[in-house]
Amino acid sequence: MIRALALVPLLIVVAPVVLVAGAALALFAGSPGSCGGGRAITFDPALAFAYDDRWLAFNTELLYGNPATLTITDSEATSRARFFIDAAAPIDDVRICFVDGGGDVNATLDTPVGPDIDVRVRGTADLTGAHPRADIDSIRLGALPSFVTRPFHGIIERIADDQLERITLDYRLAVDVREGQATITGTP
C-alpha cells in the first residue's frame, strides 16, 4: 500500500508531461490522412487560368439572363485555390477533393514557431443565400483525435462565415457534389 502511495506524486508529475508530449507529437508529426482517399490531384497553373475563363463564361450567361452550369474537378479547384490562398494566408499544399455530398480539404499550416501542422477539414458549402456559408463536419490537426478539435468547429465556422460575408451571390446557385467533381447550377 505504501508503495502504491509513493507512485501518486510520480503519476501527478509524469502523466501530464507524457500527455502533452504525446499530443505535441501527434499534432506536429502526425497526419490526418489524405483527402479523397489519397486520389491523384494535379496542381497546374493552366488549370487555374482555364477555371477563371470558365467561371467568367458562367457568370456572363447568368448576367444575360440565361441559366448556366459549371462543373469543376478536384484538380481545377486545387489549382485555383492554391493561387488564391498562397497570396492570402500562411497555408501551403492545399488539396481540394470533392466527395459525395461535400468537400474534403488537406493543407499544411505554417506555424510561426515550430514545425508546420498538417490539417484536414471536411464539410459542405451552402450557396442558397445572399452569401455563401461553410458547414464544417470535421477538423483534423495532425494525428490528434477529432474529439480534441471538436470545440473549435464553431469558432472556425464563424471565422469562415465572417470572411464569406464579403462575397455576395447575385444569382440563385445550387451545388451538386460527387466523387471528383462539383457542379454549380445558376439561375438569374
Q: What is the grid cell recorded at 27?
A: 499534432
* Pure H helices in the chain: 2-29, 45-63, 74-88, 146-149, 153-164
Which of 1-5, 110-114, 182-186 is the most confident on average? 182-186
Tell me the pairing of strands 133-141 and 91-99: unpaired
Residue 167 has pLDDT above 90, yes or no: no
Specify the pLDDT at position 118.
Answer: 83
User: Which carries the bigger pLDDT value, residue 6 or residue 124?
Assistant: 124
Amino acid of residue 121: V
| CB contact at 8 A, 146 and 140 | yes
pLDDT of residue 6: 52
pLDDT of residue 106 exceeding 90, the answer is no
d(CA 181, CA 184): 10
Q: Which pLDDT score is estimated for 23?
A: 47
State CA 152 to chain mean position distance: 14
Give the single-character DSSP code of 89.
Answer: S
Specify whether the backbone of 129 is left (phi greater than 0), alpha (psi in -120 to 50) or beta.
beta
pLDDT band at 183 (very low <50, low <70, confident <90, very high): very high
Cα separation, 168 vs 166, in Å, equals 6
- Rounded to an integer, the average pLDDT of 139-162 is 77
In which region does residue 36 sit, left (phi positive, over 0), alpha (psi from -120 to 50) or beta (all else)?
A: left
Strands ordered across the beta sheet of 181-187 = 68-73, 181-187, 172-178
Position 40 pLDDT exceeds 80: yes
